[in-house]
């Protein structure tokens, strides 16, 4: 098997107040995989994600992306390689138009003129928002803003796309539209979610984090049908949802 595009080894981290959030986490994600990161609140999921592009620095262990160590001297390239889409799209959209927001990252890398415009429009086209390029973000629906937030990251041409609760606060149609977009992306995806049906729909593999450590790394179907594992780590399926009754699973 090829080397992982995302390689986390023995990662440990404690906050300044002494709270130990991660205890020796190992996570290896290969190019093109779509992996769900599951776990109860307080499991360490956000802490782990913030190490992937250097927002937090490991107390012990290492994180690398396509062989490049996440370290201070590599942060600009690491943050291009690992794009994080935050839970609230308004944390990423702050300029006057959709076009300006999507252009912001690549422009800071030195892209300009026709090349920048092409990059912006390609990213917007991938999320179905090219016709909204000149609209102010605050005039868009919540679901449209989330798609534009994804485009701001895609415009950087990342190797890994990290999504924090991508389905939260979306109506059913927007939820379905985003799923269709994510399935069509040719990028490695790590999706942090409490939405277990969404994880099953989009991610063939799931990693369960609990109390700062990895407690399971299996096919998503196997995780969601392991009643003892689910109960032990406060993972609950929506009422009436049974993975065993799903006819087709993600590939």
Query: Does residue 115 lie in a domain region?
Result: no
Query: Does residue 126 lie in a domain region?
Result: no
Structural domain that includes position 15: 6-93+159-245
**198 touches 167 (CB < 8 A):** yes
What pLDDT is stored for residue 13 in this prediction? Answer: 95
**37 touches 224 (CB < 8 A):** no
**208 touches 215 (CB < 8 A):** yes
Q: Where are the alpha helices (DSSP H) in the chain?
A: 45-52, 75-81, 98-108, 113-126, 142-154, 172-184, 196-202, 220-224, 227-232
**149 touches 92 (CB < 8 A):** yes
Domain count, the chain: 1
Strands 82-85 and 160-164: parallel
Least Cα distance to 170 among 135, 138, 141 occurs for: 141
Token pair of 139 as six digits: 């005039």
User: Cα separation of 34 and 188, whole Å?
Assistant: 6
User: Cα separation of 46 and 132, whole Å?
Assistant: 31
Query: Does residue 213 lie in a domain region?
Result: yes
What pLDDT is stored for residue 249 in this prediction? Answer: 55
User: Cα separation of 216 and 36, whole Å?
Assistant: 12
Query: Does residue 1 lie in a domain region?
Result: no
Query: Does residue 125 lie in a domain region?
Result: no
Q: Quick one: CA dihedral 44, 53, 91, 17, positive or negative?
A: positive
For residue 58, what is the domain's CATH number? 3.40.50.300
Query: Does residue 60 lie in a domain region?
Result: yes
* Percent helix / strand / coil, the chain, rounded to 5: 40, 25, 35
What pLDDT is stored for residue 1 in this prediction? Answer: 56
pTM for the model: 0.92
**175 touches 149 (CB < 8 A):** no
What pLDDT is stored for residue 248 in this prediction? Answer: 55
Token pair of 183 as six digits: 């399935």
What pLDDT is stored for residue 226 in this prediction? Answer: 96
Residue-wise pLDDT tens for the chain (251 aa)?
A: 578 999 999 999 999 999 999 999 999 999 999 999 999 998 999 999 999 988 998 889 999 999 999 988 899 899 999 999 998 999 889 999 999 999 999 999 899 999 999 999 999 999 999 999 999 999 999 999 999 999 999 999 999 999 999 999 999 999 999 999 999 998 999 999 999 999 999 999 999 999 999 999 999 999 999 999 999 999 999 998 989 887 655 55
Query: Does residue 179 lie in a domain region?
Result: yes
Query: How would you label 173-190 residue by residue, b for 16+ Cβ within 10 Å and e otherwise?
Result: ebbebbbebbeeeebbbb
What pLDDT is stored for residue 59 in this prediction? Answer: 85
């Amino acid at each position: 098997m090829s080397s992982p595009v995302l390689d986390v080894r023995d990662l440990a981290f404690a906050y300044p107040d002494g709270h130990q959030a991660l205890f020796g986490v190992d996570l290896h994600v290969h190019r093109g995989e779509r992996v769900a990161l599951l776990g109860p609140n307080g499991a360490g999921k956000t802490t782990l994600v913030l190490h992937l592009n250097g927002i937090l620095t490991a107390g012990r262990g290492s994180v690398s992306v396509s062989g490049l160590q996440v370290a201070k001297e590599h942060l600009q390239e690491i943050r291009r390689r690992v794009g994080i889409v935050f839970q609230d799209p308004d944390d990423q959209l702050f300029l006057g138009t959709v076009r300006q927001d999507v252009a912001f990252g690549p422009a800071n890398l030195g892209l300009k003129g026709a090349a920048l415009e092409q990059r912006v429009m390609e990213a917007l086209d991938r999320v179905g928002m090219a016709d909204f390029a000149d609209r102010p973000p605050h005039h868009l629906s919540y679901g449209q803003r989330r798609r534009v937030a994804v485009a701001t990251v895609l415009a950087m041409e990342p190797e890994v796309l990290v999504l924090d609760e991508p389905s939260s606060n979306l109506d059913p149609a927007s939820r379905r539209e985003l799923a269709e977009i994510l399935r069509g992306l040719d990028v490695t995806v790590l999706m942090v979610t409490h939405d277990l049906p969404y994880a099953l729909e989009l991610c063939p593999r799931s990693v369960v984090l609990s109390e700062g450590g990895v407690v399971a790394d299996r096919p998503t179907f196997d995780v969601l049908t392991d009643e003892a594992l689910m109960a032990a780590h406060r993972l609950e399926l929506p009422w009436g949802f049974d993975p065993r009754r799903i006819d087709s699973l993600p590939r």
